[in-house]
Structure 1
Amino acid sequence: MGTPLKNPPVYLTLVQARFNPVLKLADYVPSVQEGLRKAGYPAYTQQSSVVMRLPNTQEMQQQPSALPQPAQHVQYFFSNAAQTHGFVLNSDALTFQSSDYGTYEKFSAQFLQGLALVHDLVKLDFTERVGLRYLDHVAPRKGETIDQYLVPEVLGLGARLGGQLLHAFSETFCAIDKVRLRSRVLVQGGSLVFPPDLLPNGVKVHERFLQPSEVSAMVDTDGAVEGRELFAMDAVKKHLDAIHAVIGDSFRRTVTPHALKAWDE
């Protein structure tokens, strides 16, 4: 998001490419694991769960009364020894997550390296969605208030209503060229939180984000380019660059100059 801050508030970052289903993915996992192990991700686990699969359009046309059916869902996890970076692979997506973001250039390069490895082995046909998501923890320093860190539009009515603020939530969803951007801000008391649809899988959050705070905020910024395209690494990188630019602008419009200065000291 522009020039890196000395103490950025980002505590988890994810990037994902969704692609055509690969039903024989398990056949390729040993080769994927060996390639990622050599690239610096030696830790490996897998997780199975049962999910309800909804009938597709063709199935509904053939049998209008078709019901959701249970299906096995398997995910494969590959992480570095420090548990700060990790890949999650399933039959139709590769996700890279990090609790030690660094810079966009390095972060995106790590993901693209993993995606190229999967493509070389599996020969992916197309992408359905390319996405990038940042979780930022906004915690005022001692003697400061949350309104010094966030713009009024995302703070809610807590200051006007009086009493003790339990939580305030705002969400904005918009289209900026090809990028669909969803920006959520949750202001509440207590410690670090995660969105209900997102938990860190196999990565550890830095201790500095785990300190309790009287009032803090989660800024959840999620951008994506959707639509089926023939698979091409250059196209994936181009989409990520465009999404990153939109997310960076959104973040700078959500926080205040005071916040940026505080995180750069």
Structure 2
Amino acid sequence: MPEPVSTASIYYALAEARFNRIANMVGYVPQIQDRLRREGFPLYEERTLSHGPSWRMTQADKKAGFFLQPWSFVYQTTHFDSHDTLFNKLLSGLKVINEVVKLDHVTHLYVRCLDAILPKAGEGVADYLADGFHGFTQIPGYQSSQCEFIFHTQTGPLRPQGTIVLRIFKVTGPLGFPSDLAAHDLLLRPEYSDTASISHAVADTDHFVQGMMPLDFIKLKKQLQSLFMGSRELFTKMTTDHARRVRT
């Protein structure tokens, strides 16, 4: 499937599948890690978070990697090239997990993208965001703001209704990440890793569905594609024609 418009500004993307908690996931991790290591993700790290253990399996160049928890599996990348690659990687890893632990179904699917809105010299964020998405920034001394929008969506084929949570961060400073993604451990593309302290915005689009979904990998991919297309349609609506000309 071809890429929709307005993907050039994506500097981070993830696809996530959640499932019923596997109480003995720690016992299955060695098999999963070995399989994913041989598929090009040799860097391995175990962490204990406040809500339990997690395991990271990352490419040697740190451009992409997997993040596993007892109830969740994520593929994330800072070098997004296509939604097809994003979903193929997630689903190939999910197949490995299924072969090892024998999943029954998936309960949630998420597609999340961060878009960098970096005005050129002589421009401002207002030149890139459509009316209704600017937030409140006219008070003297303004440094940062966050706006949140929630939309109900029509998706398919496995779940008919989804939810998009759109957060727009407007910041004066280097390009960064929302706090829940700050520890992703991946390397940004050069054009995003050396941004000066400038006035810019980040559009954080999180589109998800929930409910029991069978392990039909063809339909799971179609569901993920539906989520991605919905997110990009929203991004098109929230940006100006000028923004899309600059980034596409």
Could you state the TM-score of these two structures normalised by the residue count of structure 2? 0.90
- Alpha-carbon distance, 1:25 to partner: 1.3
**Match of 2:171?**
188
Contact 1:155 1:168 in 2 (8 A): no
Looking at structure 2, the residues matched to 171 and 154 of structure 1 have their Cα atoms a distance apart, in angstroms, of: 9
What pairs with 1:237-252 in structure 2 (closer than 5 Å)? 237-252=221-236
Q: Which runs of 5+ in 1 are unaligned?
A: 52-72
Which segment is superposed worse, 123-132 or 144-153? Answer: 144-153
**Match of 2:145?**
168
**Match of 1:138?**
117
**Match of 2:216?**
232
Contact 1:154 1:169 in 2 (8 A): no
- Alpha-carbon distance, 1:242 to partner: 1.1
Looking at structure 2, the residues matched to 49 and 181 of structure 1 have their Cα atoms a distance apart, in angstroms, of: 26
Which segment is superposed worse, 222-231 or 74-83? Answer: 222-231
- Alpha-carbon distance, 1:3 to partner: 4.5
Is residue 123 from structure 1 mapped to residue 102 from structure 2 by the alignment? yes
Which segment is superposed worse, 189-198 or 103-112? Answer: 189-198
- Alpha-carbon distance, 1:28 to partner: 1.7
Question: What per-residue deviation string (whole Å, max 9, x for no partner) do you get for residues 82-104 of structure 1?
Answer: 10110011111101110001011
Contact 1:84 1:205 in 2 (8 A): yes
- Alpha-carbon distance, 1:186 to partner: 1.3
**Match of 1:62?**
none
Looking at structure 1, the residues matched to 6 and 42 of structure 2 have their Cα atoms a distance apart, in angstroms, of: 28
- Alpha-carbon distance, 1:153 to partner: 1.1
Contact 1:2 1:248 in 2 (8 A): yes
For the pair shown, the structure with the greater C-alpha radius of gyration is: 1
Tell me the amino acid that sits aligned with residue 219 of structure 2.
Answer: A
Looking at structure 2, the residues matched to 118 and 76 of structure 1 have their Cα atoms a distance apart, in angstroms, of: 13
Tell me the amino acid that sits aligned with residue 48 of structure 1.
Answer: T
Looking at structure 1, the residues matched to 95 and 112 of structure 2 have their Cα atoms a distance apart, in angstroms, of: 20
What pairs with 1:2-151 in structure 2 (closer than 5 Å)? 2-3=4-5, 8-51=8-51, 73-151=52-130
Moved over 4 A (4+): none
SS at match of 1:152: coil
Contact 1:84 1:100 in 2 (8 A): yes
SS at match of 1:258: helix
- Alpha-carbon distance, 1:207 to partner: 3.1
**Match of 1:259?**
243
Looking at structure 2, the residues matched to 95 and 231 of structure 1 have their Cα atoms a distance apart, in angstroms, of: 16
Looking at structure 2, the residues matched to 221 and 209 of structure 1 have their Cα atoms a distance apart, in angstroms, of: 18
Contact 1:125 1:231 in 2 (8 A): yes
- Alpha-carbon distance, 1:11 to partner: 1.5
Could you state the TM-score of these two structures normalised by the residue count of structure 1? 0.85
Tell me the amino acid that sits aligned with residue 20 of structure 1.
Answer: N
Looking at structure 2, the residues matched to 142 and 213 of structure 1 have their Cα atoms a distance apart, in angstroms, of: 13
Aligned length: 239
SS at match of 2:179: coil
Question: What per-residue deviation string (whole Å, max 9, x for no partner) do you get for residues 186-220 of structure 1?
Answer: 11211113222222423112232231243100100
Looking at structure 2, the residues matched to 186 and 90 of structure 1 have their Cα atoms a distance apart, in angstroms, of: 28
Looking at structure 1, the residues matched to 42 and 87 of structure 2 have their Cα atoms a distance apart, in angstroms, of: 20
CA RMSD of aligned residues (A): 1.7
- Alpha-carbon distance, 1:162 to partner: 5.1
Contact 2:5 2:232 in 1 (8 A): no
Contact 2:150 2:166 in 1 (8 A): yes
Q: Percent identity over the alignment?
A: 24
Question: What per-residue deviation string (whole Å, max 9, x for no partner) do you get for residues 1-58 of structure 1?
Answer: 51575xx22121111000011111122212111211121111111112343xxxxxxx
Q: Which runs of 5+ in 2 are unaligned?
A: 155-160
